[in-house]
Structure 1
Amino acid sequence: MKSKLSTPALIAEIGCNFAGSLQRAITLSELAIKSGADYLKYQFFSAENLINEKYYLKTLGIENTNIINEINSLQLSKDNYEKLFYSNEENGYKWGISFFSVEDAKVFFEEKDFHKLKTFSFLKIASGEITDYPLLEYLSKVNRELKLPIIISTGISIDKEIKKVISFFKNQSTIYLLHCIVEYPVQTKELNLNRINYLQKKFDVESGFSDHSLSTIWAILSLFFGAKIIEKHFTDSRDNKFADNPISMQPSEFLEIKNAINNMKNIFGDGKLKISEKEIKELTYARKGLYASKNLGKNQVLRPSDLISRRPNFGKNDSKYYFQLINKKLNKDIKKEDPITLSDID
């Protein structure tokens, strides 16, 4: 990912939508790129390092002794992640990672050396990790050398917390703050897209939108609020009811967002008037010309009641010449409803 994006980037959050299948992970990654994604994003974690099983279950108020296995069943093994990342490398697919523990981050950077792959493009800090200071401290140390762009989701985060997480990576590389609502799916009334602008101005960084809605329109609309990054969960079908598939965008929807990004320059324009050839042709039928309201004789002085404005406009009879014609003497006879031009007066 470039340090400064000239065009907004579209990130496909693959997450755990592959449900532990390497082949599905590879297929989803390829499909996302073909559907317009500029970057892929994965979640690199193990359940043992993600949750405290005893208190997690207690907090949820459920009894389930298999939750560790259930969470891990959605993930790839480290060896399969290696195959996935090298598949991306071979195909030139750019990607980034969210980490959820120091332990798993160390596997990525120290045990497997995945960070040496050329297509590894950014680090992502999830909303839930914005106060995980041990993790942030480790990633900060790693990134002093890598100098990768840092993308930070700011869901349920107050300004003080955002300022703190920025401090870990300040002066290392470009930081992007993503407005995010931690609801799956987010309700329309909760979107608050003005937050995108606020983050940019408040923290003097580029901002974007991590969108959990079931629509494409809000992601597209975020461009008008200055979003430089749009992140959406990606799936081949929302009919898959596991992981985040039900709240993800399908290929045609991703293409819709990408097309809006590609056309953004034309949609926004530069504010200067540019009249197209089609508009010039329409001018004849859209604007009015001046015509005689009755038969008029040579040497007759034109009065307001002698003129009517009607479509079409032939240019020479443009109604903008009205004040130049009034009180002027005609140099020829003009029949009722014939056009009147400046050449018809002395």
Structure 2
Amino acid sequence: MKTIIIAEVGVNHNGCLKNAFQLIKEAKSCGADFVKFQIFKSENLVDENAEKAPYQKRNMSEESDSQFEMLKKLELSFEDFVEIKQECEKNKVKFMASAFDLESLNFLLNLNCDYVKIPSGEINNVPYLREFRNCNSKIILSTGMSTIDDIEFALEILTSAGIDKKSISLLHCTSNYPCDLEEINMNSMVTIREKFGVDVGYSDHSSDNAVSSAAVAMGASIIEKHFTLDNELEGPDHKASLNTKDFKKFVRSIRKIEKILGSSTKKPTDSEKETKKFVEKKIFASKQILKGEKFSNLNMTTKRSKSGINSRDWDLVCSKEAIKDFQVGDLIEIE
């Protein structure tokens, strides 16, 4: 099964529609399946006195600690997102977004996207989750900063609002930008899949491509990775994102893992079938066998040969008597 790869632009357009369009083109050239954005109204999202999160302070050089001021600079209008979705369609890459307030969520739900993503920070937001009663899209629920109980709570709210559980995918992630390898705990993605019986994926905030490759090998059907035009740009997420060159390598590594994984069916490949002809053992006489003598371990052996009775039929041959005389090294024949 092909892994869905999401290029998470988020706010890496820095509030500029031109940058958003360029990111769409670049993401498409990298092989991304979806380009994802974050939709919000700053005044609905944070209190004007709210401080930046620690990772936002760490990743930005501007002196102001105001989260509101930061977000206001990164905000795009609803009209902008209509154009962004059209630009995705023009570039033949799919649009996806997450909304961070109810007004933005209702706008997003009316865009009729294939998928809508619920951010990790909204996993316990009851009125937000209940708004999905109007959702006709598939849902991706991000589970950063959460426990199994938190996930179960969110799923109960969504399903009680009329959402089919089968239309929900759960994304494991670590909400640190970038996160250390010791924080990833990929085995919990498997726990989530086994516990809730839905498709799972991984939202990768690490700085190592091996992490998402491991996630795919462990059953992730969706991979999300932050994407930027330039890691040196000012903004909260650029440093934890991949630029165009690195995102291309990232996509190639995931597609390589898919080839390695293959299918769940155990069968010989075409090349193995050819090799098998030369290494399979057939049954030979190890000493002289006279007509009417019973075949046994005492008068037969196996050797590689392109013709003859396959060694897997050894017990069948041992139940038979020789139909003629055999000399040492002769291929055994039976009726």
Normalising by structure 1, report the TM-score.
Answer: 0.71
SS in 2 for 1:81: helix
SS in 2 for 1:56: coil
Q: Give 1:156's aligned residue.
A: 145
| 1:277, distance to aligned residue in structure 2 (A) | 3.4
Residue 166 and residue 318 in structure 1: after superposition, are their counterparts in 2 closer, same or farther (change >3 A)? closer
Matched-pair identity in %: 26
Q: Give 1:3's aligned residue.
A: none
Matches within 5 A, 1:177-188: 177-188=170-181
Residue 314 and residue 77 in structure 1: after superposition, are their counterparts in 2 closer, same or farther (change >3 A)? same
Q: Give 2:33's aligned residue.
A: 38
SS in 2 for 1:84: helix
| 1:151, distance to aligned residue in structure 2 (A) | 1.7
Q: Give 1:315's aligned residue.
A: 307
Q: Contact 2:24 / 2:91 at 8 angstroms: preserved in 1?
A: no
CA distance in 2, matches of 1:79, 1:48: 17
Give the residue type in structure 1 aligned to 2:331: T
Residue 137 and residue 289 in structure 1: after superposition, are their counterparts in 2 closer, same or farther (change >3 A)? same
SS in 1 for 2:146: coil
Is the aligned partner of 1:99 residue 2:99?
A: yes
Structure 2 residue runs without a partner (length 5+): none
Q: Give 2:169's aligned residue.
A: 176
| 1:180, distance to aligned residue in structure 2 (A) | 1.3
Q: Give 2:130's aligned residue.
A: 140
Map Cα deviations across residues 243-285 of structure 1 (whole Å, 9 max, x no partner): 4333334123123324544x48x71323xx5333322221244
Q: Give 1:226's aligned residue.
A: 219
What is the root-mean-square deviation in Å for CA atoms of aligned residues?
4.1
CA distance in 1, matches of 2:50, 2:105: 27
SS in 2 for 1:177: strand
| Greater CA drift, 41-50 or 300-309 | 300-309
Give the residue type in structure 1 aligned to 2:305: N
CA distance in 2, matches of 1:175, 1:341: 61
Map Cα deviations across residues 126-176 of structure 1 (whole Å, 9 max, x no partner): 222323x3xx514633x3233322221111212332233223322234222
| Pairs aligned (count) | 318
| 1:17, distance to aligned residue in structure 2 (A) | 2.2
Map Cα deviations across residues 282-340 of structure 1 (whole Å, 9 max, x no partner): 124434457788xx889699998987765x43232765677859997984666xxxx53
Q: Contact 1:14 / 1:40 at 8 angstroms: preserved in 2?
A: yes
| 1:179, distance to aligned residue in structure 2 (A) | 1.2
CA distance in 2, matches of 1:186, 1:98: 21
Q: Contact 1:20 / 1:74 at 8 angstroms: preserved in 2?
A: yes
CA distance in 1, matches of 2:5, 2:322: 64
CA distance in 1, matches of 2:64, 2:230: 30
Q: Give 2:228's aligned residue.
A: 235
Matches within 5 A, 1:58-73: 64-65=63-64, 67=66, 68-73=68-73
SS in 1 for 2:156: helix
CA distance in 2, matches of 1:321, 1:107: 69
Residue 187 and residue 332 in structure 1: after superposition, are their counterparts in 2 closer, same or farther (change >3 A)? same
Q: Contact 2:285 / 2:331 at 8 angstroms: preserved in 1?
A: no
Q: Contact 1:36 / 1:258 at 8 angstroms: preserved in 2?
A: no
CA distance in 1, matches of 2:80, 2:207: 30
| 1:42, distance to aligned residue in structure 2 (A) | 0.8
Residue 258 and residue 14 in structure 1: after superposition, are their counterparts in 2 closer, same or farther (change >3 A)? farther
Give the residue type in structure 2 aligned to 1:24: N
Structure 1 residue runs without a partner (length 5+): 1-5
Normalising by structure 2, report the TM-score.
Answer: 0.73
Q: Give 2:331's aligned residue.
A: 341
Residue 330 and residue 200 in structure 1: after superposition, are their counterparts in 2 closer, same or farther (change >3 A)? same
SS in 2 for 1:226: coil
Is the aligned partner of 1:28 residue 2:23?
A: yes
